[in-house]
């Protein structure tokens, strides 16, 4: 197990959905008290299992609603599985929704401290890396402007700069390399590649077949919460393209 970085063992996530539309809270409470609510179970993930060794770079592909983001949240520890377990060996940095924890009223500079604290960074660590974060985000004087005035690309740049200032053992990338302008995408790709060189284990969620082939070594294809294909990154990207072509 010395080289094992991540074990996902028969993970399932089940949601209970009402079968009928309930228009308001009052109606929901009345039906609940009368025991007149009918439910059906929805499996967002259904028995997903795989193991990654240190330095593996796994592409996770599938159409929207296949369970990719749900799987990443379970691995990150944001979401508890209904069944199965996840074993993580080392620190995990999830890049799921860049800037999702920002306070829109605070400036970019203030959000470096806030967002960094939310990611578990110590005050001393943020202080030691503050200039590096500001330089990478490349926001100029906007670093002192409230984030509510930022474009989505500017927020993504700042979020990415804060989140990647550490050197994680396991890095989760959920569509984050598809945001921002071309210059930022190239810069962020180079940053990620530098982490690869240090042996970081990566889970990469993307619809971009070329990025998958370039950045990853292995791949899985999800459909309706299940792994329906597993192979090299190239094989997985080709299978994804083939399935989409058939459906389109």
Q: What is the pLDDT along the chain (248 residues), one digit of tens a residue?
A: 558 999 999 999 998 765 566 666 766 666 666 666 666 778 899 999 999 999 999 999 999 989 999 999 999 888 999 999 999 998 888 877 666 678 999 999 999 998 888 878 899 999 999 999 999 988 889 999 999 999 877 888 888 888 888 878 898 888 766 656 677 778 877 888 888 888 889 999 988 898 899 889 999 999 999 999 999 999 999 999 998 875 54
The pLDDT value given to residue 80: 94
Q: How many CA atoms lie within 13 A of 241 on its CB side?
A: 11
The pLDDT value given to residue 100: 62
- Residue 6, class by beta-carbon neighbours within 10 Å (0-12 exposed, 13-18 middle, 19+ buried)? buried
The pLDDT value given to residue 119: 78
The pLDDT value given to residue 28: 61
Q: What is d(CA 201, CA 222) in angstroms, rounded to the nearest whole number?
A: 20
Strand order across the 170-174 sheet: 92-95, 170-174, 201-205, 57-61, 218-223, 226-232
Rounded to a whole number, what is the distance in angstroms from the first to the last CA of the chain?
A: 43
How many other CB atoms are there within 10 angstroms of residue 18's CB atom? Answer: 13
How many other CB atoms are there within 10 angstroms of residue 14's CB atom? Answer: 14
Contact between 118 and 98 (Cβ < 8 Å) = no
The pLDDT value given to residue 160: 85
- Nearby residues of 223 by Cβ (< 8 Å), 6 or more positions away: 62, 63, 66, 243
Q: What is d(CA 15, CA 82) in angstroms, rounded to the nearest whole number?
A: 9
Q: Give 55's DSSP letter.
A: T
| Cα-to-chain-centroid distance, residue 220 | 15
Per-residue b/e over 180-214, b at no fewer than 16 CB within 10 Å? beeebbebbeeebeebbeeebbbbbbbbbbebbbe
Q: Which of 32, 3, 2, 30 is nearest to 16 (CA)?
A: 32
3: helix, strand or coil: coil
Partnered with residue 41 across adjacent β-strands are 16
Q: Is the whole model's pTM more than 0.75, yes or no?
A: yes
Q: Which of 119, 112, 62, 114 is nearest to 96 (CA)?
A: 119
The pLDDT value given to residue 2: 57
């Amino acid at each position: 197990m010395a080289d094992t970085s991540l074990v996902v063992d028969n993970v399932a996530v089940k949601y209970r959905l009402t079968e009928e539309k309930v228009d308001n809270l009052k109606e929901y409470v009345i039906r609940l008290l009368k025991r007149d609510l009918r439910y059906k179970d929805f499996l967002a993930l259904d028995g997903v299992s795989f193991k990654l060794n240190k330095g593996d770079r796994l592409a996770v592909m599938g159409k929207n609603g296949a369970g990719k983001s749900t799987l990443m949240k379970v691995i990150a520890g944001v979401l508890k599985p209904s069944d199965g377990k996840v074993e993580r060996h080392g620190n995990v940095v999830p890049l799921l929704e860049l800037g999702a924890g920002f306070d829109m009223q605070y400036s970019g500079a203030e959000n470096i401290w806030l967002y960094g604290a939310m990611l578990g960074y110590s005050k001393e660590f943020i202080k030691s890396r503050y200039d590096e974060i500001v330089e990478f985000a490349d926001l100029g004087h906007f670093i002192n402007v409230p984030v509510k005035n930022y474009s989505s690309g500017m927020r993504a740049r700042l979020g990415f700069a804060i989140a990647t200032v550490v050197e994680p053992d396991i890095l989760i990338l959920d569509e984050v390399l598809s945001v921002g302008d071309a210059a930022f995408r190239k810069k962020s790709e180079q940053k990620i590649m530098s982490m690869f060189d240090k042996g970081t284990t990566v889970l990469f969620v993307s619809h971009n077949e070329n990025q998958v082939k370039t950045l990853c070594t292995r791949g899985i294809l999800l459909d309706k919460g299940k792994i329906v294909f597993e192979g090299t990154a190239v094989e997985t990207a080709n299978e994804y393209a083939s399935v989409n072509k058939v459906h389109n």
